[in-house]
Amino acid sequence: MLKIIWNRFKKNSLSLTGLIIIAILASIALSAPLISPYQPTAIDVYNVLSPPTSAHPFGTDELGRDVFTRMIWGSRISLKVGFIAVGIAIAIGTVIGAISGFYGGKVDALLMRFVDIMLAFPTFFLILAVISIVEPSISTIMIVIGLTGWMDVARLVRAEFLTLKEREFISAARALGIGDIRLIFRHIIPNALSPVFVAATFGIAGAILIESGLSFLGLGVQPPEPSWGNILTSGKDNLTIAWWLSVFPGIAILVTVLSYNLIGEGLRDALDPRLWID
């Protein structure tokens, strides 16, 4: 089955391009200490707001720090936030959706009303409210994004459970005396994860955008630690004299988010059995 999924995925040239871009980005992020030409916090007062040159391909910021180096280290923040925040959201959403869809009745009604209440709050403003109360840090951002982004996953998992729990193989497992916990985690969840993978891909893109927005507002990753969002903040303050501070991180965010969305589109088509017969 994995071979079928991969063969269908690679037929989508845009999705395959997105996967290649993300693979390159991940390689750059993981090898940042080896490929960075400078230290991300190194200040050079003789090269303040220097335009792109051979020594500084992406120019320097208002403190003379190399933007190319800070972009490389900022990619680590984006990947970390995306994967960990979405991992938290998937874990919470999968458990709540599984319990809701498996047991149904009052349990389902209670959990789904809680999901509806959470969805009623604008996610970004809810995150802003929480961040304004606690001290901004990368760990706080990941946890808050995860705790406020699980609702769509819960609804997807619930929908899959409502269908799968009526299948013959679940009836056979019940007849063998298998308990509810084993039924949920051993037999149903593995068959309900296809839409979750797709949602996770889109979720990573959303988490990167949220982190960049929070850092841009000064509520995310705190200087001098680099992130694409706080590099954009420097660009906003020097927009008329240092265009490179806005252009390069903006392009990085655009390309990364677009690549994850393209991967999600490709996965959605590749994981749909109805499209396997051309």
Instruction: Please check whether residue 66 lies inside any domain of the structure.
Output: no
Q: What is the CATH number of the domain that holds 270?
A: 1.10.3720.10
Q: Comparing 103-112, 197-206, 211-220, which segment has the lowest mean pLDDT? A: 211-220
Q: What's the mean pLDDT in 67-95?
A: 91
Residue 20 placed within a domain: yes
Start-to-end C-alpha separation, the chain? 16
> Who contacts 189 (Cβ-Cβ below 8 Å, separation ≥6)?
94, 98, 157
Instruction: Reduce the DSSP state of residue 60 to 3 states and report it.
Output: strand
Whether the per-residue pLDDT at 11 is higher than 70: the answer is yes
193 to each of 138, 207, 262, 268, how far by Cα in Å?
Answer: 28, 20, 19, 12
42 within some domain: no
pLDDT band at 58 (very low <50, low <70, confident <90, very high): very high
Q: Estimate to the nearest angstrom the gap between the alpha carbon of 193 and the chain centroid.
A: 17
How far apart (Å, rounded) are the C-alpha atoms in residues 223 and 230?
7
Please indicate whether residue 273 or residue 38 has the higher confidence score (pLDDT): 38
pTM: 0.87
Split at pLDDT 50, 70, 90, the class of 272 is low
Are 40 and 70 in contact by the 8 Å Cβ rule? The answer is: yes
Q: Is residue 69 part of a domain?
A: no
Q: Is residue 71 part of a domain?
A: no
Amino acid 104: pLDDT:
84
Give the range with max mean pLDDT: 7-21, 113-127, 233-247, 248-262: 248-262
Residue (of 219, 272, 244) closest to 70 by Cα position: 244
Q: Is pLDDT at 258 greater than 90 in this prediction?
A: yes
Structure tokens at 128: 């802003």
* pLDDT for the residue numbered 87: 92
58 touches 68 (CB < 8 A):
yes
Burial of residue 179 (CB within 10 Å: 0-12, 13-18, 19+) is exposed
Within-domain flag for 60: no
Helix spans in 104-243 (H): 105-120, 123-133, 138-147, 151-164, 168-175, 180-182, 194-216, 228-237
Domain that holds residue 269: 2-35+77-275
Alpha carbons within 13 A on the beta-carbon side of 228: 27
**The pLDDT of residue 274:** 56
For residue 58, tell me if it sits in a domain.
Answer: no
Average pLDDT over residues 232-253: 87
Number of domains present in the structure of the chain: 1
Q: Which residue has the higher pLDDT, 128 or 102?
A: 102
Average pLDDT over residues 162-187: 82
**Looking at residue 27, what is its pLDDT?**
93
For range 123-128, the mean pLDDT = 79
pLDDT of residue 113: 92
Residue 277 is predicted with a pLDDT of: 52
Q: Is the model's pLDDT at 168 over the cut of 90?
A: no
pLDDT exceeds 80 at position 276: no
Of the candidates 229, 204, 231, which has an alpha carbon nearest to the alpha carbon of residue 18? 204
